Each structure stands twice: as structure tokens, then as C-alpha cells.
Structure 1
Amino acid sequence: MKHAAILDRLAGLGGAKWEIHYRARALAAQGRDVIELTIGEPDVPAPPVLTEVAVAALRAGRTGYSDGRGEAGLRRALAERYSRSAGRTITEHQILCFPGTQTALFALLLGVGEVGAEVLVGDPMYATYEGVIRAGGAAPVPVPLRPERGFRMDAADLAARVTPRSRAILLNSPHNPTGAILSRDDLQAIGEVATAHDLWILSDEVYEDLVFEGAEFVSPLAFPHLADRVVAASSISKSHAMPGMRSGWIVAPADFAARLLPLSETMLFGNQPFIADMTEAAVRAPSPVAAGMRQRFAARARRLKTRLEGDGPLRVHAPQAGMFALIDVRGTGLDGAAFAAGLIEEAGVAVMPGASFGASLGDWVRVALTVDDDRFAEACDRIAAYARTLAGVRA
């Protein structure tokens, strides 16, 4: 039987990257004591004040069809929020709502990419980026995010990879998996490259509310001269500890949002009204859980760095934001995949091989900062002990 070319383009880009995560679940089901540091699941439940809004909306019958752009109240709330943060007027005609950032990015990349086109994207990158780029036929062009530069994209590296086929630059700041944040100067320089070559700037900003103390987030939406080429995507998944609610959006130039609307309606026809009501309430007030997550994740990242670098061959990259930290495992003599595979079997700690996020992280692993403090401390001890055994074998 024949199948569509999209299935070939996406072959190997799905669950295979999460093999260690699934292995951890299987071992736990067998009764093994496994500490799971693989996925970015918030460490607190959804805020009750917001779930009550959703329940009330359900009881009020907010279960019918939605406006294809998203519910009007939510779009107004988002327009007001982004007008404040961008320092310029954002209208509700610039907003489209989606079930989560993932769906928003899928639609965006279908809207700007096609067979023969190229999308410039930082390497390392979030695990699904290659898939959303390839789905419509475009090719990802990796731009190295160098550890010595704090994993922030360098405009010179970007410019060196632009070709006549380039359509867009896909940014992620704060960044998963590195926790890096692009500075204002970084964005200014990237914007100059985009302007010179007439490229879209697509900005995934889902970790905006999880910026650690001492760091600053800047969106490319804040640059008025880039307004006609910037599209930002975000959601309540991380900021409000609601990844399962699947509620996200994009902020785009009004004409592009109008052009993208038929694609969005073909896929989804809007988001669920009762979830939109809850999301509107979330957008109109500060998150009741984000500050606590910021403090806990930053503290755990510091604990990881202190514990591992003080005892053994591992080196930790300190994140500026988000839910993850990176460990450089080269000192053990193993690459990230081998280290992660051994760690789960020998020490009962599940981490993600860095290669799941791009070839440049082949010698790293990603650690989620989202388990409680006692379990996280135990995981740090187990990782350190496992690394010592490897160093002893090499010696």
C-alpha cells in the first residue's frame, strides 16, 4: 500500500528519541526504584483557582464550537498582555489560539516552509523541532549553539548558513534543553540577518515565565522594526503547570494571521471554549505557581552543579531559565547515549541523552529539575557515584 511522503519525512523523529524515558517507566513498573529526570513535567499541580474556572465554564455549557481564531475574550487578553510586554499595540487580529505550543509551531512551519525550503534552527534544539520543520517538506539547517558562548545563537554562525532557500529562523528563548536566554544584542544581530535576507523569525517563548533571578528575557516582538517578520508562540503549559490542558497561541502580523487562519481551521477550528475561559483568567493575572518553580528549579540546578563538579569527572552547564540542566559527560569516557543507558540500568536514574536534541550534544545528557528536593538530592548522589565508577574503570 502507498503512503504519503510526510510519513517518510518524519520516520525516526517520534518516540524513538524518548527510549530512556520509556525504559524508566518499564523498570518502575517492575518495582525498580527509578528517579525519572527525563521530561519537563511541572513539579506542582495545576492552580486550583484556574481549574475552578474551567469547571465553572463546563457547567455553564462552554462546550460548543469555538471561533476559529480562538475565543474573543482570550484573544483580547493576549493582545493586552503582549501590547504591554512589547511596548507597542498588539491587536486581537494578530492572535490565533491552538491546543498548545506544539500545534502552533506545526501550523507555523507549514505556513512558512515547503518542499525545497530551509529553516535555520539552533543545534541543540527541542526534540520535536526537526519534525515540525520536515512535516511540510522544508529542511532544517542546524546553527551551532556553542557552549563557550553559553549556547546562545551567534549571528555570524547564522549568516554563514543562509542560502537562497532559507525561509525562516526558528528561535527558542529561554531555550530547551540548555536554559540559555538570547540577549537584546543577540536578537538585534539576528534581526539584522533576518532583515537582510527577508526571513521570518519564529520565536518559541514557552519558558518566558521561568527565568531565574539575575537573568532577563527579551522577545523579538519588542523590536518595532521587526514587527512584520516576527511570530511568537507560547502556552500555559509551563508557566501555569498545565501541560495537559493543551492551550497555546501565536502572536503574528495581522495579515499573516489571516493567511494562516484557513490552515488552523482545517486542522482544529479553534480551541475548547471552557479551556479558553480558563486560559483567559491565567493570562490576565500573574501565575500563582511560576515564582515557586523558578526558585526551586534554580536551586536544584545549583545543587546539581555543586554536587557533581565537586566530586568526579562531570561538568554542569548552569541554565538561566527553564526546567533543565545539561551535564557534560566526556570526562567519563562515554558519550551521552552510553552514559544515559548505563545510568538507568546501574543507578536507577533516567536522564535524556543529549543527542535527542541534536548532534552537537552527543557528549551531554539533559537532566530535568522537576522532582522534589529529596529525590533530586538522591539522584545527584547516584549520578556522582555512577560517574566515579566509570572514572575508576578508566584509571
Structure 2
Amino acid sequence: MQMLSKKAACDSHGQDSSYFLGWQEYEKNPYHEVQNPNGIIQMGLAENQLSFELAESWLADNPDVLGLKRDGKSVFKELALFQDYHGMPTFKNELVKFMAKLRGYKVEFDPKKLVLVAGSTSANESLMFCLAEPGEAFLLPTPYYPGSNDFKITGCALEDAYEQAKKLNLNVKGVLVTNPSNPLGTTMDRDELNLLIDFAISKKIHIVSDEIYSGTVFDSTSFVSIIEAVTDRNIDDTHELWNRIHMVYSLSKDLGLPGFRVGMIYSNDETVVAAATKMSSFGLVSSQTQFLLTNMLSDKKFTSKYIEENRKRLKSRKEMLVSGLSDAGIECLNSNACLFCWVDMRHLLSSDTFEAEKELSKRILFEVGLNISPGSSCHCSEPGWFRMCFANMSQETLKVAITRIKDFVESITSSRDNCNHQLTFLDSRRRSVSKWVLPLSPYDNNEPAER
């Protein structure tokens, strides 16, 4: 007799997929520049550690915050006792100001339309519960599109996906996008956003825009939020579309605080906000965390310095990886955001198959000592693409990783050259032998044999 639910007994959880093989091997043998220089370097973790000391420096300058004090007086009791699931108004006010700042103040956010939850994963889950019934579908424009068009969203791709869902008898409730994109590291341009908006209007469906990487954009002028895109269309605020536009955000990537579990839902639909707020009781952000971050985000001098410096460091580190890979004969998709690069290793595959991609991924893991994410784990339809993270390690460790991949590519190239040389030699021998054999074949009229 089954004592557990089907969900608990199911073995299809992501943790059991091949994607996590590298994580498991890394945990067994993590790289350390002194203690374990031959260990595996973690390039599968999209974590931002490049500006961590800026946050630590702020904490050192504001010891009262860590001591749970306000104006020198303890607020421990105030924070330790019951907090309702609406969240602290002061924190929500500072959070929407920070979100507006990241977007160049081109849009404003209303704290009353914001729901606090424990991370963006919880935010997406709660939002799906609010927008769809079990069995209904959202379209996800993941890297399904071939590299020839730089993985951009097209109207044809949206229509094709919608029709495929209909053929499967799925009721499509909306489109879920990540902007900036994980794993591409690119921002959606206005043409793509307008395609989405037109598509949502024509199909009468929702748009959910996950914008957790908005603060990692190297060029702040190149990022357009879904809220800004709809606003710029001069769509009347009474239009029904506004109630179908929802945004997800988190401080995990932009401030490098994934352990603090701070996520949020932003929606114009009052019913969605009310329902999601009630659901947030299953995953609240602690009052201590809200208190600390209220003080940090309210320091405008700090946030300005952090945003500017973080963008510079991300751009510099990304360029370091791209340059190193280019020297090894490996190209990357041109990107302008995020903590990783979308890397083209199609030329290193033994064949144009996902089996060959899996084989290459394992070789890079076990022979090279790098854990990177294969494109198939991101549902890429074209084998040979990989995601490489660069912001979760020191510059010295990244140099080691680049050296390792260069040596690996050289070994493959050398092996192929030797193989080609041997094939050329054998082919030459065959041609040489044929010149000697053919004349010795007996023909009555001495005519050359047909070849």
C-alpha cells in the first residue's frame, strides 16, 4: 500500500536529473587553490560574489543593524514577536524605490501592489497558483530557438508554441519570460516585448516577467522592464491587459543575498495581490531580514555605489571569460547581463546529437574539472550550447578554469589533427597502391578499367 503521495514518490524532481551530476561530483571534490588545486571548479552556480565586500563593509559601518537596534535601542522584541504576512511597510517602500532605481526611474512601483515571499521560486509558484488551474499551461520561450537568430523571441515561435499547446488540449493562460534571460545573459529588446504584449492582447492571456537579474545589466540603458514596455505603449490604465501583467523579483542576484530568501510578486490585479499575500504565509521573509534590508536599501549613497560598482565588475569579469574562451577557439553569445555566458561548443561535439553533448559535458566534468550546465538542461533544441557562470569565484580561480578549458580544446584539436593525418596517409597509400594495381590487371584490349 502506497503510504506517500504521488508527488513525494515521483523520481522526476530536478535533483534527480543529469543536470545535478556535476553538482554531486563537485560536492565530493570541490576546488581549492591551496588545499585541493586539482578539484572541480563550480561554474554551474549563478551566484554573485563580486561585490560581496561592499555589503560586508556597510554592515561593519552599521553595527546597530546587526545588533537589532534602532537609534541605539533594542528592537529585538518587536522583531521576534508575530508579524503578519503583509510584510513591513517600511521595507516594501524601500524595495520599490530600489526597483525603480535599477530601472533608471523610468517606472514607478506601488508598494500596495507588492507581495513579499521567500525567494523568486516561491513567487513564481504562488503566482501560478493564482493564475491557472491544474492542467492549464504557460508558454516558456526558453532557448528553443536556433543560434542563427541569436535566440530571440519571434512572433512565429509564439504562435507555433500556442498552437502546439492547443493540439495537446492545453488551455494556455499566459507566457512566462525571464528578462534578463537565464541562461542567455541577454535582455529583451522593445521589438520582442511588443511582440509579447500584442500576443497577450490578441490571445487574452497573462504575461509573467521574471526580472531577478535586472540589476546585473552591464548597460543600464539596454534593460526595459515589462512594466515600462506596457507604459510606453500608452495603453490606458483601465485596459484589461494591465491586470494580466505580473512581475517577479528577488534580491538574490542583484545584491548577492540568496540566503536571505527575499522575493516578491508585483501585480496590478488586486485579487492576485490579495490571494498571493495570503499564500505568502507558507513562506514569509523573516522580520529580522526585513529590518536589516530596510536600513541597507534606505542608504541611497550605498545603493548607488553598489549598483554602479557591481555592473562594472560583472562586465569586466564577463569580458575576461569571453576573451579567454575566444583564445581557446570557443565563442559566446553576445550578452549584456547576468552572471554567466551562453557558450557555443558545437564544434567540439563528436556528432550533432544530445548524446554527444552529454558525453562532452562529462568529459569537461571529469577530465577538465569544471562543472558547467549543458544546454539540454535548459531545454535548448540545439546540442552543443553550455552555460558557464563567472561571478561565484575569484579572478584567480576563473583564470585556472580558462587555462583548463584551453588545454582541453588543444588536446581535442591535436587528437583530431592526428586522426586526420592518419586518414590522409591511409588514403594516400590507397591511391598509391591503386596506381600499381590497375595496370597489372589483365585486359585483352589494354583499355584502362572503369573506375
1:228 equivalent in alignment to 2:234? no
* Map of 2:153 onto structure 1: 153
Paired residue total: 373
Which stretch shifts more, 23-32 or 40-49?
A: 23-32
1:25 equivalent in alignment to 2:31? no
* Map of 1:250 onto structure 2: 265
Q: TM-score, normalised on structure 2?
A: 0.75
Which stretch shifts more, 51-60 or 353-362?
A: 51-60
- Given residue 324 of structure 1, which amino acid in structure 2 is its aligned partner? F
Q: Is the 8 A contact 1:171 1:203 kept in 2?
A: yes
Q: Is the 8 A contact 1:344 1:350 kept in 2?
A: yes
Which stretch shifts more, 17-26 or 56-65?
A: 56-65
Q: Which runs of 5+ in 1 are unaligned?
A: 125-143
Q: Which runs of 5+ in 2 are unaligned?
A: 236-240, 351-355, 418-451
Alignment CA distance shift 1:380-1:53 (3 Å): farther
Alignment CA distance shift 1:358-1:201 (3 Å): same
Alignment CA distance shift 1:10-1:186 (3 Å): farther
Q: CA deviation digits over 1:228-270, x for unaligned, max 9?
A: 21111111111112111111111111332013222223x23x3
Distance in 2 of aligned mates of 1:287 and 1:66: 30
Distance in 2 of aligned mates of 1:300 and 1:360: 28
Distance in 2 of aligned mates of 1:201 and 1:283: 28
Distance in 2 of aligned mates of 1:169 and 1:9: 27
* Map of 2:442 onto structure 1: none
Counterpart among 264, 278, 284 of residue 262 in structure 1: 278
Distance in 1 of aligned mates of 2:123 and 2:304: 22
Q: Is the 8 A contact 2:213 2:337 kept in 1?
A: yes
Q: Is the 8 A contact 1:117 1:166 kept in 2?
A: yes
Structure with greater proportional helix content: 2
CA RMSD of aligned residues (A): 2.6
- Given residue 87 of structure 2, which amino acid in structure 1 is its aligned partner? G
* Map of 1:279 onto structure 2: 293
- Given residue 5 of structure 2, which amino acid in structure 1 is its aligned partner? A
Q: CA deviation digits over 1:54-103, x for unaligned, max 9?
A: 52337521123322122111222334455675756643221100111111
Distance in 2 of aligned mates of 1:361 and 1:369: 23
Alignment CA distance shift 1:89-1:375 (3 Å): closer
Alignment CA distance shift 1:157-1:261 (3 Å): same
* Map of 1:321 onto structure 2: 337
Give 3-state SS (helix, strand or coil) of 2:181's partner: coil
Which stretch shifts more, 4-13 or 273-282?
A: 4-13
Q: State how 1:104-115 maps to structure 2 within 5 Å.
A: 104-115=123-134
Q: State how 1:283-298 maps to structure 2 within 5 Å.
A: 283-284=297-298, 285=300, 286=303, 288-298=305-315
* Map of 1:303 onto structure 2: 320
* Map of 1:394 onto structure 2: 416
Distance in 2 of aligned mates of 1:304 and 1:92: 39
How far did residue 358 of structure 1 move? Answer: 1.3
Q: TM-score, normalised on structure 1?
A: 0.85
Counterpart among 87, 91, 95 of residue 70 in structure 1: 87
Alignment CA distance shift 1:89-1:392 (3 Å): closer
**Bigger Rg over Cα:** 2
How far did residue 367 of structure 1 move? Answer: 0.8
Distance in 1 of aligned mates of 2:193 and 2:287: 35
Aligned-residue sequence identity (percent) comes to: 19
Alignment CA distance shift 1:176-1:355 (3 Å): same
Alignment CA distance shift 1:149-1:83 (3 Å): same
Q: Is the 8 A contact 2:40 2:371 kept in 1?
A: yes
Which stretch shifts more, 145-154 or 244-253?
A: 145-154
